[in-house]
Amino acid sequence: MALTRQQQKEKTKTLLVSAGLEIFAKNGIQSTKTLDIAKKVGVSHGTVFVHFPTKKDLLIEIIDGFGRSISEEFKKLSADAHNLRKILKIHLKVIEKHENFYARLLIENALLPGEVRGTLINLQTGIAYFINSAARNEMKAGDIQTMPSHLLFNTWMGLISYYLLNKDIFAGEKSVIKTKGNEILNHFLKLIKL
Amino acid sequence: MALTRQQQKEKTKTLLVSAGLEIFAKNGIQSTKTLDIAKKVGVSHGTVFVHFPTKKDLLIEIIDGFGRSISEEFKKLSADAHNLRKILKIHLKVIEKHENFYARLLIENALLPGEVRGTLINLQTGIAYFINSAARNEMKAGDIQTMPSHLLFNTWMGLISYYLLNKDIFAGEKSVIKTKGNEILNHFLKLIKL
DNA sequence: GAACTCAGTGAGTGGGGACTTAGCCAAAAT
DNA sequence: ATTTTGGCTAAGTCCCCACTCACTGAGTTC
């Protein structure tokens, strides 16, 4: 059966977004051309601009969607996790699942349009909240050292970002999180332990 | 008095390199055009290509020079510093002095031509050596926790990189290292203390 | 001082890639 | 059944920017 116009339109738009997500993860965000995305979907180049007035708008839609979905996933998984180790483990798991795109985002973030940069910040802010509340509980309980929670969070994010940004050095073609995630996690926990 | 041809040539080349360094630090590496650099020096656009066959070659010269000079500076200053705190302090001082360019390099590193990426790696490897030997000494002496030195180094680099990459968030227009350097240093030392 | 060399010029050239547009055809409206 | 609408197409257009080249004029060589 033939699709209605609206269905067709939405389908194409979705295909463009998911093709973009995939190509961005593999080849980089900036260096991906609108034509590449059109080709992958199997539509003409012009079609991209039927759905998105500019490349930037496409970018925003893709990255925002990614941010929303990853944030949701994290919240769902960590709903019943209350100790820090578990939450950090979930954090790693979620990142690992989307490692390629996430790493791309970290790499290119500072060069992306301002509208998009907010996405990564929001994402991290959301995650910081969970990590910090768990951390404060364990500080009170005397399980870990007392320290300002922003420093604890920045140390954790710094470590993870550093490994992701240099993932080719640390893990070649493989997943850094899969390869080094446990080592990083145990090291971090040992550092902050009392 | 008039310069000889050779002097003139060298002078222009040097001017191109230092103008590049300056503009890169302010406006970014990728987004700087060869014409921008020519304008800054006050020569014609074509002159750039008299001295460098391609933009990439200019890039390599600029970034390599930066890497060499910063590495030298670090080695000179840390010649008679044997404890970890002092070495890390020197590391921060050297970065602070070149913060804008250094941050640019971190931001764009992964997107730069492979020939250039080695520079940052070499730089960090050199610095890692100093930090790791000091760290091992203090571990033996029982001043800090025992841990694999690569993890100690990566934690430190992760922290610094994280602050530099997000320097606009942490410090606005100001220097992040000047603003937050001490906080970072003290936090890090407290973490690794026994 | 005549012939030659070469740093520097600036108006091109070429290629890449975002965006436009006239036209097509199938779905929707009448 | 006829007209209108609108998603999609394909062949542009336009702009940007790295790089070229024929030329100039000031050093250099003899």
**CATH architecture assignment, domain A56-192:** Orthogonal Bundle (1.10)
pLDDT for res A81: 84
- What are the pLDDT digits (tens) for A128-160? 999 999 999 999 999 999 999 999 999 999 999
Find the Å distance, CA of residue B45 to C1' of nucleotide D21.
13
Distance from the B11 Cα atom to the nearest Cα atom in chain A, whole angstroms: 33
Per-chain mean pLDDT for chain A: 95
SS3 (DSSP) at B144 = strand
Classify the C-alpha dihedral A117-A122-A125-A127 as positive or negative: negative
CATH topology of domain A1-53: Arc Repressor Mutant, subunit A (1.10.10)
Instruction: Round to the nearest angstrom and report the end-to-end CA distance of chain A.
Output: 65
A154 and B159 within 8 Å at the Cβ level: the answer is yes
pLDDT for res B70: 96
A111 and B28 within 8 Å at the Cβ level: the answer is yes
Contact residues for strand C with beta carbon within 7 Å? A 2, 4-6, 33-35, 45-46, 49, 53-56; B 5, 8-9, 11-12, 43-47, 50-51
- Angle, nearest 10°, between helix axes B176-192 and A149-165? 100
CA A61 – CA A20 distance, rounded (Å): 10
CA B126 – CA B174 distance, rounded (Å): 28
pLDDT tens for each residue of chain B, 194 residues long: 567 888 999 999 999 999 999 999 999 999 999 999 999 999 999 999 999 999 999 999 999 999 999 999 999 999 888 899 999 999 999 999 999 999 999 999 999 999 999 999 999 999 999 999 999 999 999 999 999 999 999 999 999 999 999 999 999 999 999 999 999 999 999 999 97
Classify the C-alpha dihedral B115-A32-B158-B23 as positive or negative: positive
Find the Å distance, CA of residue B8 to C1' of nucleotide C5.
15
Q: For residue A1, name the pLDDT band (cuts at 50, 70, 90).
A: low
Comparing B159 with A80, the larger pLDDT belongs to B159
Nearest DNA or RNA nucleotide to A43 (CA to C1') = D8
Find the Å distance, CA of residue B48 to C1' of nucleotide D21.
15
A147 and B187 within 8 Å at the Cβ level: the answer is yes
Mutate to test the interface with B, among A155, A160, A185 (most CBs of B within 10 A): A155
* Domain residue limits, chain B: 1-53, 56-192
